[in-house]
Amino acid sequence: ESIVVDGTAVPIVEEAQVVTPFGTLLHFRKAGPVARQPRVLIVAPMSGHFATLLRGTVHTMLADHDVYITDWHNPRDIPLTAGRFGFDEYVAHVIDFIRHIGPDAHVLAICQPTVAALAAVALMAAGGDPAQPASLTLMAGPIDCRVNPTKVNALATSRPIEWFAKHLISVVPTGFVGAQRCVYPGFVQVAAFMSMNPDRHAASFADLYYERAKGDPARADTLRHFYDEYFATADLTAEFYLETVEKVFQQYALARGELTVGGTLVEPAAIHRTALLTIEGEKDDICAVGQTVAAQELCSGLPP
């Protein structure tokens, strides 16, 4: 593919910069003479979909930024010998990716990974890491789920963590590289997402049919492409899913100042060099207004 930069089409080359069993740091390198652009790491959610769901975001940012993205691997394709991948390992990956990109990059975390991204930057700040990013943008994420709790938040607190482990965790079957690994299946997550807005999805499928029937395929193709991506599901490791539910949605560990990563307390107030931008959606039915902006108060070391 190519992207238009300053009126000129520039080819884009996708490069794997860092590869681990659980994730890849992808770089969308511009294969042409382009002026130096701000480097940005997009931290994609690991919540049942692949990073390709953010294709539109990447495409938009490429014109003005040097873009990197976290491409999380599907646990069903990761052998048991690779070990565990929980919340701590997720944060460690984000830190390693930021370090690889280098000092004064920008980090954009969307929805689920906002807590991990804030934790990563806070730990880097507390340790005086020279690769601390210039800015951190948190988009619609559950920094403090006690604020204006949604149906998702209510579900998470309606049962003990043991219930989630017993009823929602499955084992990767024989035939996959990750056979016998415990996972939260991606198809369960997608079903949960769809159950939140069944009328909207039903209307979309009806539109898909009627647009085809009346000979106007453009709208139908848009819907079909969306659902092709939406139904391409990825599993989550059981430990990551359960630790996220418990720490983020049940214990509110970060908001309460109790979150630890690798035994180290996460202190957002340690952030002094990284500018913080929080973005919320007025009609967001997963992370309500107030849940993300809570990060501003936690990062008390930054000027108001």
| Type of residue numbered 44 | A
How would you write the pLDDT of the chain (304 residues) with one tens digit per residue? 899 998 899 999 999 999 999 999 999 999 988 889 999 999 999 987 778 889 999 999 999 999 999 999 999 999 999 999 999 999 999 999 999 999 999 999 999 999 999 999 999 999 999 999 999 999 999 999 999 999 899 999 999 999 999 999 999 999 999 999 999 998 888 877 777 778 887 888 888 888 888 887 887 888 877 777 777 789 999 999 999 999 999 999 999 999 999 999 999 999 999 999 999 999 998 899 999 999 999 999 999 8
Q: Is the pTM of this model over 0.85?
A: yes
pLDDT in tens, 208-241: 888 888 887 887 888 877 777 777 789 999 999 9
Q: What angle do helix axes 198-213 and 186-196 make, rounded to 10 degrees?
A: 90
Cα–Cα nearest to 70, from 38, 100, 26, 40? 26
Confidence at residue 255, expressed as pLDDT on a 0 to 100 scale: 98
- Burial of residue 56 (CB within 10 Å: 0-12, 13-18, 19+) is exposed
- Burial of residue 95 (CB within 10 Å: 0-12, 13-18, 19+) is buried
Domains of the chain and CATH, by start: 2-158+241-298 (3.40.50.1820)
pLDDT in tens, 171-196: 999 999 999 999 999 888 887 777 77
What angle (nearest 5°) sits at the alpha carbon of residue 296, between those of residues 292 and 301?
A: 150
Q: Rounded CA gap, 59 and 269, in Å?
A: 34
